[in-house]
Amino acid sequence: MNALDLLLLTSLGTVLFSVVFSASLTGRMLLTMLYAVQTVILFQIDAGTEMVSSFGFEIFNHALGLSFNGLSWFFALITLGSAFFAAWYGLNQQQKLLHVGLSANVFSMLVLLSAGDFLSLFIAWELVSWSGVLLMVLGKQESLVATLKYITYAIAGGMAVFAGIILIYSWTGSLAFNAVTENPLSLSQYGTLAILLIGGFSVKMALLPFHLWQAEAYALTSGPASVFLGAISARMGLFAIVITMMHVVDLKTLDSIFLIPELFTFRDFLIWVAALSIILPTYTALRQNDARLLLAWHGIGQGGYMMLGLLMYDQMGSAGGLLHVFNYASCQAILFMSVFSILHRTGTTNLNQLGGLVARMPLSFLAMLVGIIGLAGLPPMNGFVSKWLVYRSLLSDGMAIVFLASVIGTLGTILSVYKLMHNSFLGQLRVEHEHVKEAPWSMTVPMMLLAIIIFITGVMPGISLELVANAQSAIGLTPVDYHLGGVVSANSAISGDLDMIWVVLVLFSGFGIAAILFLSAGKSRRVHQLDNYAGGHFLNANNQYQYSDNFYAGLMHIIKPWYRYSFKWFEGAVVSFVNLAAVFSRSFFNQAHMLIWMLVVVTTVMAVAII
Amino acid sequence: MKHYIILTVILPLLVAFLLPTIGRFSYFLARALPPIILIFSIVITACVYNNETAPFALHIGDFVAPQGIVFHVDSISLLMALSVQVFALFLWPRRSFKLQSEQIVSNKRYSLMLLLVASANGLAFSGDLFNLYVFYELLAVATFGLISFDTNEANQARFAAAFRYLVISATGSVMALLGIALVYFLTGTLNFAHLATQQANLFNPIGLSAFALLLVGFGVKAELFPVNSWVPEVYSAASKKLSGYLAGVISKLAVLVIIKALLFIFPHSEAAYLMLGLGLAGLLIGELSAMRSNDFTRMISWSSVAQLGLVFIAFSIPGQAGIIAGLAVLFHHMFVKTALFLIAEKWGGRISDLHGQGYLNLIMSGIFIFVALSLIGLPPLPGFWSKFLLLNGLAGQEYYFAIAIILITTVIEVNYLFRVANHLFSREDKPVLPINNHHWFDTLTASLIVVALIVAVWELPTINDQLIIMSDQLLDIESYVNRVLISTENGL
Question: ipTM of the assembly?
Answer: 0.89
Query: Does residue A172 sit in the same domain as residue A31?
Result: yes
Q: Which of A217, A249, A281 is the last residue of a domain?
A: A249
Which of A58, A140, A155 is nearest residue B410 as measured by Cβ atoms?
A155
Beta carbons of A583 and B426 less than 8 Å apart? no
Q: What is the pLDDT of residues A198-243, one digit of tens each?
A: 999 999 988 888 888 888 889 888 889 999 998 898 899 999 998 8
Q: Is A126 on the interface with B (CB under 8 A)?
A: yes
Which of A137, A594, A605 is nearest residue B229 as measured by Cβ atoms?
A594
Q: What is the pLDDT of residues A10-64, one digit of tens each?
A: 999 999 998 888 888 888 889 899 999 999 988 888 877 777 877 777 776 777 8
Question: How far A175 CA sits from the closest chain B CA (Å)?
Answer: 12
Query: Does residue A241 sit in the same domain as residue A335?
Result: no
Q: Is A167 on the interface with B (CB under 8 A)?
A: yes
Among B128, B130, B136, which residue's Cα sits nearest to residue B57?
Answer: B128
Beta carbons of A169 and B395 less than 8 Å apart? yes
Residues spanned by the domain of A281: 264-476
What is the 8-class DSSP label of residue A398? T
Query: Does residue A324 sit in the same domain as residue A459?
Result: yes
What is the 8-class DSSP label of residue A543? B
In the beta sheet, which residues pair with residue B29?
none
Query: Does residue A574 sit in the same domain as residue A426?
Result: no
Q: Mean per-residue pLDDT for A312-333?
A: 87
Beta carbons of A609 and B392 less than 8 Å apart? no
Q: What pLDDT, on the 0 to 100 scale, is given for residue A597?
A: 66
Q: What pLDDT, on the 0 to 100 scale, is given for residue B490?
A: 47
Average pLDDT, chain A: 85
Q: DSSP 3-state assignment of A311?
A: helix
Question: How far A60 CA sits from the closest chain B CA (Å)?
Answer: 7
pLDDT of residue A545 exceeding 70, the answer is no
Q: What pLDDT, on the 0 to 100 scale, is given for residue B404?
A: 92
Which regions of chain B are under pLDDT 70? 52, 65, 95-105, 150-154, 487-492
How does residue A125 score in pLDDT terms, banded at 50, 70 and 90? very high
| Of A167 and B105, more confident | A167
Beta carbons of B212 and A609 less than 8 Å apart? yes
Beta carbons of A594 and B205 less than 8 Å apart? no
Nearest CA in chain B to A166: B392
Q: What pLDDT, on the 0 to 100 scale, is given for residue A184?
A: 83
| Interatomic CA distance for residues B67 and B60, integer angstroms | 11
Q: What pLDDT, on the 0 to 100 scale, is given for residue B127?
A: 84
Q: What pLDDT, on the 0 to 100 scale, is given for residue A128?
A: 92
Query: Does residue A200 sit in the same domain as residue A275?
Result: no
| Interatomic CA distance for residues A322 and A306, integer angstroms | 6
Question: DSSP per residue over A514-538, as a string?
Answer: HHHHHHHT-------TTS-EETTEE
Question: How far B36 CA sits from the closest chain A CA (Å)?
Answer: 39
- Which residue type is seen at B474? L
Q: What pLDDT, on the 0 to 100 scale, is given for residue B105?
A: 67
pLDDT of residue A2 exceeding 70, the answer is yes
Which of B285, B407, B419 is nearest residue A163 as measured by Cβ atoms?
B407
Q: What pLDDT, on the 0 to 100 scale, is given for residue B103?
A: 64
Which of B167, B172, B289 is nearest residue A586 as measured by Cβ atoms?
B289
Q: Mean per-residue pLDDT for A465-491?
A: 80
Q: DSSP 3-state assignment of B71?
A: strand
> Is A394 within the bounds of a domain?
yes
Q: What are phi and psi of A538, to 5 degrees?
A: -70, 155
pLDDT of residue A585 exceeding 70, the answer is yes
Element holding A56 (H helix, E strand): strand A51-59
Could you tell me how many residues make up chain A? 611
Q: What pLDDT, on the 0 to 100 scale, is given for residue B314?
A: 92
Which of B171, B206, B411 is nearest residue A159 as measured by Cβ atoms?
B411
Q: What pLDDT, on the 0 to 100 scale, is given for residue B491?
A: 42
How does residue A360 score in pLDDT terms, banded at 50, 70 and 90? confident
Q: DSSP 3-state assignment of A278?
A: helix
- Judging contacts by C-beta atoms under 8 Å, the chain B residues touching residue A605 are 208-209, 212, 274
| Interatomic CA distance for residues A316 and A305, integer angstroms | 13
Q: Using a pLDDT cut of 90, give the percent of chain A over it.
A: 19
| Interatomic CA distance for residues A218 and A223, integer angstroms | 10
Question: How far A480 CA sits from the closest chain B CA (Å)?
Answer: 38
A355's torsion region: left (phi>0), alpha (psi -120 to 50) or beta?
A: left
Question: How far B29 CA sits from the closest chain A CA (Å)?
Answer: 42
Q: What pLDDT, on the 0 to 100 scale, is given for residue B153?
A: 59
Question: How far B212 CA sits from the closest chain A CA (Å)?
Answer: 6
> Is A601 within the bounds of a domain?
yes
Q: How far is CA A145 from CA A202, B3, B427, B432, in A?
A: 22, 59, 11, 19
Nearest CA in chain B to A159: B407
The string over A370-406, giving b where at least 16 C-beta atoms fall within 10 Å of a residue's C-beta and e elsewhere, is bbbbbbbbbbbbbbbbbbbbbbbbbebbebeebbebb
Q: What pLDDT, on the 0 to 100 scale, is given for residue B347?
A: 84
A481's torsion region: left (phi>0), alpha (psi -120 to 50) or beta?
A: beta
Beta carbons of A144 and B425 less than 8 Å apart? yes
Q: What pLDDT, on the 0 to 100 scale, is given for residue A598?
A: 67
- Judging contacts by C-beta atoms under 8 Å, the chain A residues touching residue B380 are 123
Q: What pLDDT, on the 0 to 100 scale, is given for residue A356?
A: 80
pLDDT of residue A161 exceeding 90, the answer is yes
Query: Does residue A179 sit in the same domain as residue A278?
Result: no
Q: Which of A221, A249, A277 is the last residue of a domain?
A: A249
Q: Prior bond to B55 cis, omega within 30?
A: no
Q: Is A55 on the interface with B (CB under 8 A)?
A: no
Element holding B386 (H helix, E strand): helix B382-396
Beta carbons of B229 and A60 less than 8 Å apart? no
Burial of A258 (0-12, 13-18, 19+ CB in 10 A): middle
Question: DSSP per residue over B8-42, as a string?
Answer: HHHHHHHHHHHHHHHHHH-HHHHHHHHHHHHHHHH
How many domains does chain A contain in total? 3
Nearest CA in chain B to A129: B378
Query: Does residue A73 sit in the same domain as residue A14?
Result: yes
Query: Does residue A470 sit in the same domain as residue A581?
Result: no
Q: Is A29 on the interface with B (CB under 8 A)?
A: no
Query: Does residue A234 sit in the same domain as residue A208?
Result: yes
SS (H, E, C) A96-122: HHHHHHHHHHHHHHHHHHCECEHHHHH
pLDDT of residue A591 exceeding 70, the answer is no
Q: What pLDDT, on the 0 to 100 scale, is given for residue A85?
A: 92
* CB pairs < 8 Å spanning A and B: 139
pLDDT of residue A188 exceeding 50, the answer is yes
Number of neighbours of residue A543 by Cβ within 10 angstroms:
11
Which of B284, B392, B461 is nearest residue A59 as measured by Cβ atoms?
B461
Query: Does residue A402 sit in the same domain as residue A457?
Result: yes
Question: How far B426 CA sits from the closest chain A CA (Å)?
Answer: 6
Q: Is A573 on the interface with B (CB under 8 A)?
A: no
Query: Does residue A449 sit in the same domain as residue A397?
Result: yes
| Interatomic CA distance for residues B114 and B34, integer angstroms | 7
| Interatomic CA distance for residues B121 and B42, integer angstroms | 11
Question: How far B32 CA sits from the closest chain A CA (Å)?
Answer: 40
Q: Which of residues 147-166 of A touch B (CB under 8 A)?
A: 147-148, 151-152, 155-156, 159-160, 162-163, 166
pLDDT of residue A531 exceeding 80, the answer is no
Q: Which of A476, A499, A531 is the last residue of a domain?
A: A476
Q: What pLDDT, on the 0 to 100 scale, is given for residue B120?
A: 92
Probe site for chain A from B407, B408, B460 (most A CB atoms < 10 A): B407
> Is A462 within the bounds of a domain?
yes
Choose the most confident range, by mean pLDDT, from A307-311, A597-601, B327-331: B327-331
Q: What pLDDT, on the 0 to 100 scale, is given for residue A96?
A: 86
Q: What is the pLDDT of residues A285-301, one digit of tens each?
A: 888 888 899 999 988 98
- Judging contacts by C-beta atoms under 8 Å, the chain A residues touching residue B205 are 606, 609-610
Query: Residue B62's Cα: distance from chain center in Å?
Result: 31
- Judging contacts by C-beta atoms under 8 Å, the chain A residues touching residue B395 are 166-167, 169-170
> Is A143 within the bounds of a domain?
yes
Q: What pLDDT, on the 0 to 100 scale, is given for residue A473?
A: 85
| Interatomic CA distance for residues B374 and B383, integer angstroms | 5
Which of A130, A140, A605 is nearest residue B378 as measured by Cβ atoms?
A130
Query: Does residue A210 sit in the same domain as residue A284?
Result: no
| Interatomic CA distance for residues B118 and B112, integer angstroms | 10
- Judging contacts by C-beta atoms under 8 Å, the chain A residues touching residue B460 are 59
Q: What pLDDT, on the 0 to 100 scale, is given for residue A157?
A: 92
Nearest CA in chain B to A130: B378
Question: How far B465 CA sits from the closest chain A CA (Å)?
Answer: 9
Q: DSSP 3-state assignment of A569?
A: helix
| Of B234 and A543, more confident | B234
